[in-house]
Structure 1
Amino acid sequence: MDMPASQRYVIMSTPRSGSSHLVRALEAHPQVACLGEIFNTRGGAMRRLGIKSPETVAKAVNEPLAYLEDVMTAWTQREDAKPVFGFKMMLHHDARVIDQIVSDPSWRVILLRRDDILAQWSSLQIAKTTGEWGSKKKKARAKAGIEEPTTRIEFKARVFEMYGNKLDTRYGTLKQRLVGHQVFEISTEAIDERRDEMLAFLGVDPALAEPAPGVGERQNGSSLEDRFTNYDEVLRYAREHGLAVTA
């Protein structure tokens, strides 16, 4: 594999944190590639590389480190390969890959976290309820002229707090393990504002980037009020605990 260590990076985040927008923002630079969730066997990374097969899917699951090597090799062999290569991982994904990244300080890490945890949590709960994790079905409904259904969930303070505590633990543990790495921490809400800083962190000239693509279509575009059956309780809880409500 012919890829300088200085030209590799990984986005580490959690579901519903706006990482898809971050990928688009980075990909707008002519020298930066981000293949998204390469370990998501239902995602588009394998198709983009032209390597999707039952054997490749099995390798991604059973031999993830060897699969990562294959992905990087396939990327460097493309005629249109951008020099700076990256992908994203969720913090709950395969621990073997995270261990490998942690053990190799040559990987640059972009650590993404969403400030509006209420928006993140509610979007996650709705995805679990509907089974829709991407925008494919939403786009199909729009094309067919079908009205978008409204899904509401009940806010349960204890469940929400357990989720927040789990996020704090995962991010805190990872940050401790990444001591010695080049790490760029950023909030979802600051992606557009700090994109030039991120690009400089990756070693490219920010002036070459195309205009930031903007947030685009959210996987859950409804307002926070439309996501809950007990929105008054959400507002009360947010006020008492000093939480941002921005969605």
Structure 2
Amino acid sequence: MFENFIIVGTQRTGSTALYQALNCHPDIACGGEWTQNIPWYKKIRVARQALRGNFTGLTARNQNLIRKVFHEQTRWLGFKMLFRSSDKWLLHPRFAPALQLDQLEPCLKWIGEQPNMHVIHVVRRDAVEWLKSKYLASATGHFTIQQYPDDLKVNIPVRGAVKRLQAKNWIDNRLASLARNHPYYRVDYEEFLVSNESRLMSITEFLQCDAALVKPIDDGVQKKQSTGEAADYIKNYDELVTALQRLDLLHSPLCPSSHIK
């Protein structure tokens, strides 16, 4: 049997770079977003089977990805489960149809039933940079690796941005509640970007693995998709920042992690 971990967070938080970095350790096999494109009523069953080493319920792409890093030496087997910060909700973010399809609450209940499951929670704290990433990815269709054109400009609707951030903050708080009963490690994207190798070593120690066995991280995996600042890409940057500042939404309300474990 394997020891299991799960990477949780919202979309566009650097989880791809994190899970690929974890695969630089020989004792760790980390899959991608296994439950994406799986019907809502199958998500937990497929995840449960895959964490036992049965990958047949995954999409062909995810099967290929995990089999490249899964081997006899694997001690820790995990994957990432992300939740959408939609602006399509009324009254409260919990009622967003996207979260019903993502099965946020059933997934939290499932994780809660496994007290030995190690939780790695990745959070992006800079709201404007997060919004920039979401809207640039949507505009280009480039969600990983490929860099955005330097001359690309997007307009970010303020009302939609506010609702997305309110949803993101609520989701992150729900995910952070897993720290009460689980081994829990929070990764702030901004810190990981600056010191990914030291953060990776710290996470492998959290998983009780020998950090000295970590292989060098591929520079291409860790490269940012944008080269400029948010103001370089967002047409209504000043309007957006003013509105978010007024509502105290410029930064995640979760306190700085200090590498919470």
TM-score of the pair, normalised by structure 1: 0.72
The equivalent residue for 2:211 is 206
Contact conserved, 2:178 with 2:184, CA < 8 A, in 1? Answer: no
Q: Which residue of 2 aligns with 1:27?
A: 23
Report how far residue 175 of structure 1 moved: 2.2
Residue-by-residue CA offset, 1:98-138 (whole Å, 9 max, x unaligned): 32112221111001101222111121123334444344xx4
The 8 Å contact of residues 24 and 213 in structure 1, kept in 2 or not, is answered as no
* 1:166 partnered with 2:167: yes
Contact 2:127 2:249 in 1 (8 A): no
Match of 2:154 in 1: 153
Alignment counterpart, residue 217 of structure 1, candidates 212, 223, 226: 223
The residue matched to 1:185 in structure 2 has which SS? strand
2:8, 2:80 within 8 Å by CA — same for their partners in 1?
yes
2:32 to 20, 30, 36: 36
Check conservation: 2:22, 2:28, Cα contact below 8 A: yes
Alpha-carbon distance change, 98 to 239 in structure 1, aligned in 2, over 3 angstroms: closer
Aligned partner of 1:125 among 111, 128, 135 = 135
Change (3 A) 1:177 1:185: closer
1:201 CA displacement: 0.6
Q: Distance in 2 between matches of 1:178 and 1:239?
A: 29
Alignment partner, residue 11 of structure 2:
15
- Worse overlay, 15-24 or 168-177: 168-177
- Tell me what 2:92 maps to: none
Match of 2:76 in 1: 84
SS at match of 1:13: strand
Is 1:69 the counterpart of 2:48 in the alignment? yes
Show the counterpart of 1:185: 186
Alpha-carbon offset, residue 177 of structure 1: 4.8
Say if 1:153 and 1:85 are closer, same or farther in 2 by CA, change over 3 A. same
Q: Shift of residue 149 of structure 1?
A: 7.7
Q: For residue 202 of structure 1, what is the amino acid of its counterpart?
A: L
Partner of 1:143: none
Instruction: Please show how residues 225-240 of structure 1 align to structure 2 within 5 Å.
Output: 225-234=231-240
CA deviations on 1:77-116 (whole Å, 9 max, x unpaired) are 9645621111001134333333211222111100110122
Q: Which residue of 2 aligns with 1:195?
A: 200
1:32–1:84 CA contact under 8 A, matched in 2: yes
- SS of the aligned residue for 2:133 comes to helix
Which residue pairs with 1:175 in the alignment?
Answer: 176
Q: What secondary structure is seen at the aligned counterpart in 2 of 1:207?
A: helix
Mark the runs of 5 or more structure 2 residues left unpaired by the alignment: 56-65, 85-101, 252-261
Deviation at 1:235, TM superposition (A): 5.8
Moved more, 212-221 or 175-184: 212-221
Structure 1 unaligned residues grouped into runs of 5+: 42-56, 140-146
Compared with structure 1, are the counterparts of its residues 208 and 94 closer, same or farther at alpha carbon in structure 2 (3 Å cutoff)? same
| Deviation of 1:163 (Å) | 2.2
- Would the aligned equivalents of 1:15 and 1:90 in 2 still touch at CA under 8 Å? yes
- One-letter code aligned to 1:173: R
Q: How many residues align?
A: 214
Cα distance, 1:239 vs structure 2: 7.4
Q: Is the 8 A contact 1:110 1:183 kept in 2?
A: yes
Tell me: higher relative CO, structure 1 or 2? Use CA pairs within 8 A at least 6 residues apart. Answer: 1
Q: CA RMSD in A?
A: 3.1
Structure with max Cα Rg: 1
- Cα distance in 2, alignment partners of residues 167 and 94 from structure 1: 15
Give the 3 Å change call, closer, same or farther, for CA 64–155 of structure 1 in structure 2: closer
- The 8 Å contact of residues 18 and 188 in structure 1, kept in 2 or not, is answered as yes
Distance, in Å, in 2 between the alignment partners of 1:31 and 1:212 is 15
